[in-house]
């Protein structure tokens, strides 16, 4: 299964963190499709050195320009969303926009 398009960019940020840049997506659903494909692909067991291995995947998503037009903040927002996923388990994704809405709702109550 192909997770990303030819024009998408995958970069290792450090350790076990990667960024996937999806240029020219139409809306959030395009990012959602990629996230679901990545999770499906990476959560399959694989063999390494005669052992069966499993990966847990946590994906945070921020959208340009919806969340911000600043590329550093875009990464920070995706990072916050990713850590929110890690706290609630793995093999999932979350949009920064959803975190922001929850925070604003919690503060108003």
Domains and CATH numbers, the chain: 9-108 (3.30.70.270)
Q: Single out the catalytic residue among 8, 16, 30, 70.
A: 16
Q: Kindly give the confidence (pLDDT) of every residue in the chain, 109 residues in length, as a single tens digit, with 9 standing for 90 and above.
A: 588 989 999 999 999 999 999 999 988 999 999 999 999 999 999 999 999 999 999 999 999 999 999 999 999 999 999 999 999 988 999 999 866 665 443 333 3
pLDDT at residue number 103: 45
Give the pTM.
Answer: 0.84
pLDDT at residue number 71: 93
Is 16 part of the annotated catalytic residue set? yes
At 97 the three-state DSSP class reads helix
Residue of 64, 104, 93, 96 lying closest to 77 (CA atoms): 96
Per the listing, tokens 């916050």 go with 80
Per-residue CA distances from 109 to 27, 98, 100, 106 (Å): 30, 17, 15, 6
pLDDT at residue number 2: 82
């Amino acid at each position: 299964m192909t997770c990303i398009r030819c024009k998408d960019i995958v970069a290792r940020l450090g350790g076990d963190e990667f960024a996937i840049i999806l240029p020219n997506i139409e809306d959030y659903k395009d990012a959602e499709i990629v996230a679901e494909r990545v999770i499906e692909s990476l959560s399959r067991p694989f063999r390494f050195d005669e052992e069966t291995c499993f990966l847990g995947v946590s994906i945070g998503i921020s959208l340009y320009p919806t969340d911000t037009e600043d590329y550093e903040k875009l990464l920070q927002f995706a990072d916050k969303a990713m850590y929110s996923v890690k706290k609630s388990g793995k093999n999932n994704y979350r949009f920064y926009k959803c975190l922001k809405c929850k925070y604003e709702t919690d503060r108003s109550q």
